[in-house]
Amino acid sequence: MGPPGAGKGTQAIKVSARLGIPQISTGDILREAMKNGSELGKKARSFIDSGELVPDEVVTGIISNRINNEDAAGGFLLDGFPRTVEQADALNVMLDSSGLSIDHVINLEVPDDTVRERLLKRAEIENRSDDTKEVITKRLENYHQQTQPLVEYYKAKEKLLAIDGNGSLDEVNLRINSALGV
């Protein structure tokens, strides 16, 4: 978990490679669907391009399918999901019904000013349709309103690993590995 621009995607790739488990990113799955012009992509585009979250039932459906794939049988790392309390509750139900549970929730802590700067820089390089000034502001607002409550939610469940997300990618990665003990 972490605000947009916290480095979730980059760190998720590194951690999943280290653990030998798939990284499952709702953002990547949705962007791929938009690129392919599938029904899912068409449904998601208006939300993503305006900085809103895609409806809970859409992303919950994606995850429920994806974690039942064979490659996820030995565990998986979720990136960008859950992002609302409703999604977290739905995830608990899904996992319970398969006899699974969450080991850890990694929260990358980065101040708003820093993520705003990073996202604007990324806008110049990657050309992501949701990395414009207005949409970044909206995504940050929605993060604080809808996703940040999950920090307390997982703290209460004693799952949360708070990681300082400032610094280089390698520095942050070392902090995550040491918090995970891997």
Name the residues that contact ligand ADP, by CB under 6 A: 4-5, 8, 26-27, 30, 47-48, 52-54, 59, 80-81, 83, 87, 130, 139
122 is catalytic: yes
Q: Which residue sits closest to ligand ADP, CB atoms considered?
A: 27
Shortest separation between residue 34's beta carbon and ligand ADP, angstroms: 10
Specify the residue, 58 or 100, whose C-beta has the smaller distance to ligand ADP: 58
SS3 category, 71:
helix
SS3 category, 20:
coil
CA distance 5 to 119: 6
E strands of the chain, at which residues? 23-25, 77-79, 105-109, 160-164
- Strand 77-79, strand 23-25: pairing: parallel
**Type of residue at 55:** P
138 is catalytic: no
175 is catalytic: no
Shortest separation between residue 139's beta carbon and ligand ADP, angstroms: 5
**Type of residue at 151:** V
18 is catalytic: no
35 is catalytic: no
Q: Which two tokens stand for residue 110?
A: 């980065």
Specify the residue, 169 or 178, whose C-beta has the smaller distance to ligand ADP: 169
The DSSP H or E segment spanning 28 is helix 26-36
Q: Name 121's Cβ contacts closer than 8 Å, sequence gap at least 6.
A: none
Catalytic residue among 31, 83, 116, 175: 83
Catalytic residue among 14, 45, 128, 159: 128
Shortest separation between residue 8's beta carbon and ligand ADP, angstroms: 6
Catalytic positions: 8, 83, 122, 128, 139
